[in-house]
Amino acid sequence: MSAEPAPAKTAAATSATAPATAAAPSSSLGNAQRGKELAYTCRGCHGVAGFKNAYPNYHVPRIGGQSEAYLRSALMEYRKGTRKHPTMRAQATSYSEQQLADIAAYLASVKP
């Protein structure tokens, strides 16, 4: 009689795999729908369709369709005073940072 080796107990793989329910990653901090309403006053200077120059007599940058991150940081810089333009400072300081993010999200979605 040969002593059979006891079968090795296989450790049950009880790795509790957590369900992958990660929220969809988004680079957008703003709500474009809210931004659309907030950006209404911007049209006076930045034009209407595509926010092109409304006043040919002085230069106003086209802001529609630029990258959201760029627009957001530009507006934050006006708000903080890093960008000095008085007109845009007055605009940017009249909004909260969240509102500026919303506006940036909206403007980035505008097709020039």
φ, ψ for residue 109, nearest 5 deg: -85, -10
How near is the Cβ of 45 to ligand HEC at its closest, in Å? 3
Q: Could you say which residues in the range 40-79 bind ligand HEC, by CB under 6 A?
A: 41-42, 44-46, 60-61, 63, 71, 74-75
How near is the Cβ of 42 to ligand HEC at its closest, in Å? 3
Cβ distance to ligand HEC smaller for residue 32 or 103: 103
Structure tokens at 92: 């940017």
Looking up tokens 């708000």, which residue turns up? 79
59: CB partners within 8 A, 6+ apart: 53
Applying CB under 6 A, the span of 8-16, 17-25, 26-34, 38-46 interacting with ligand HEC comes to 38-46
How near is the Cβ of 25 to ligand HEC at its closest, in Å? 25
Q: Give the C-alpha separation, 99 to 96, whole Å.
A: 5
